[in-house]
Amino acid sequence: MKIIENNTVKEKAYFEELENGLKVIIIPKKNTNKKMAIIGTKFGSIDNHFIKPKTKQEVTIPDGVAHFLEHKMFEQADGTNSLDTLTALGVEANAYTTNDHTAYYFETIDNFEPAFKELLNYVFHPYYTDENVEKEKGIIAQEIKMYDDDPISKVFLNALQCMYNACPVRIDVAGTVESINKINKDILYDCYNTFYHPSNMVLSVCGDFEPEYIINLIKENMEKMDKQDRIDRIYPEENPEICEKFKEEKMEVSIPTFVIGIKDEVEDTDIVRKELLLNIILNCIFDENSKLFKELYEEGLILSEPDLEYEYSNIYSHMMIFSPSKEPKKVYEKFKQEVSRLINEGIDEKTFNRTKNKIYGRLITSYNDASQIARAFMRDYMNNIVSFDGIEKWKKINVNDANEMLRNKFKEDKMILSVIEPKN
pLDDT digits (tens, 9 = 90+) for 237-285: 999 999 999 999 999 999 999 999 999 999 999 999 999 999 999 999 9
Residue 238 domain-assigned (yes or no): no
* 167 and 226 inside one domain: yes
- Could you tell me if 213 and 335 lie in one domain? no
Helix/strand/coil for 351: helix
What is the band of 16 on the pLDDT scale with cuts at 50, 70, 90? very high
CA separation for the pair 217, 166 (Å, rounded): 44
By the 10 Å C-beta count (0-12 exposed, 13-18 middle, 19+ buried), 131 is classed as exposed
Q: Are 27 and 12 in contact (CB under 8 A)?
A: yes
Same domain, 176 and 298: no
Same-domain pairing of 215 and 261 = no
Distance CA 413, CA 138 (A): 42
- pLDDT attached to residue 223: 87
Residue 226 belongs to some domain of the structure: yes
Within-domain flag for 39: yes
pLDDT score of 424 more than 80: no
Q: Are residues 226 and 265 in the same domain?
A: no
In a domain? residue 240: no
Is there a contact between 255 and 328 (Cβ–Cβ < 8 Å)? no
Regarding whether 159 and 12 lie in a shared domain, the answer is yes
Cα–Cα distance for residue pair 47/99, rounded to 1 Å: 8
Task: State which residues form the domain around 401.
Answer: 246-422
Give Cβ neighbours of residue 191 (< 8 Å, ≥ 6 apart).
43, 61, 65, 66, 69
CB atoms < 10 A from the CB of 103, how many?
Answer: 22
Adjacent-strand bridge partners of 4: 13
The pLDDT assigned to 166 comes to: 97
Which candidate, 259, 243, 250, 244, places its Cα nearest to that of 155? Answer: 259
Return the sign of the alpha-carbon dihedral for residues 314, 315, 318, 322.
negative
Query: Looking at 110-119, 385-394, 411-420, which range is the least confident one?
Result: 385-394
What pLDDT shows up at residue 89?
96
Torsion of CA 186, 190, 192, 196, to 10 degrees: 170
Helix, strand or coil, per DSSP, at residue 416: strand
Q: What is the CA radius of gyration of the chain?
A: 23
Give tens-digit pLDDT for 363-407.
999 999 999 999 999 999 999 999 999 898 998 999 999 999 999
Please state, in angstroms and rounded to a whole number, the distance separating the CA atoms of residues 358 and 168: 34
- Residue 401: give its domain's CATH number: 3.30.830.10
pLDDT at 392: 87
At 132-185, the pLDDT tens digits run 999 999 999 999 999 999 999 999 999 999 999 999 999 999 999 999 999 999
The residues carrying an active-site annotation are: 70
Number of domains in the chain: 2
Are residues 21 and 127 located together in one domain of the fold? yes
In a domain? residue 207: yes
What does the pLDDT read at residue 260?
98
Indicate if 43 and 170 belong to the same structural domain.
yes
Considering the domain boundaries, does residue 160 fall inside one?
yes
**Residue 239 maps to a domain:** no
**Rounded to an integer, what distance in angstroms lies between the CA atom of residue 223 and that of residue 132?**
26
Q: How far is CA 243 from the centre of its chain?
A: 23
Number of Cβ atoms within 10 Å of the Cβ of 45: 23
Does residue 167 share a domain with residue 131? yes
Q: Is the dihedral of CA 342, 345, 347, 350 positive or negative?
A: negative
**Percent of the chain's residues with pLDDT above 90:** 96
* Nearest alpha-carbon partner for 45 in 153, 174, 152: 174
Residue 360 lies in a domain: yes
Single out the residue in 233, 263, 293 at which a domain terminates: 233
Q: Report CA dihedral (241, 256, 148, 282) to the nearest 10 degrees.
A: 40
Kindly report, residue by residue over 278-333, the tens digit of the pLDDT: 999 999 999 999 999 999 999 999 989 999 999 999 999 999 999 999 999 999 99
pLDDT, tens digit, 9 for 90 and up, residues 35-57 = 999 999 999 999 999 999 989 99
Indicate the residue among 233, 259, 274 that finishes a domain.
Answer: 233
In sequence order, the 6+-apart residues with CB closer than 8 A to the CB of 192 are: 69, 126
How far apart are the C-alpha atoms of 398 and 344, rounded to whole Å?
A: 18
| Residue 46 shares a structural domain with residue 150 | yes
**Mean pLDDT over the full length of the chain:** 96
Domain C-terminal end among 212, 233, 254: 233
Strands 246-251 and 257-263: unpaired
Query: Is the domain of 266 the same as that of 135?
Result: no
Contacts of 316 (CB under 8 A, 6+ apart): 46, 99, 164, 167, 169, 238, 266
pLDDT range class, residue 422, cuts 50, 70, 90: very high
CA distance 30 to 363: 19
Dist. CA 191–CA 332, nearest whole Å: 42
Pair 227, 252 in one domain: no
Q: Is 160 strand, coil or helix?
A: helix
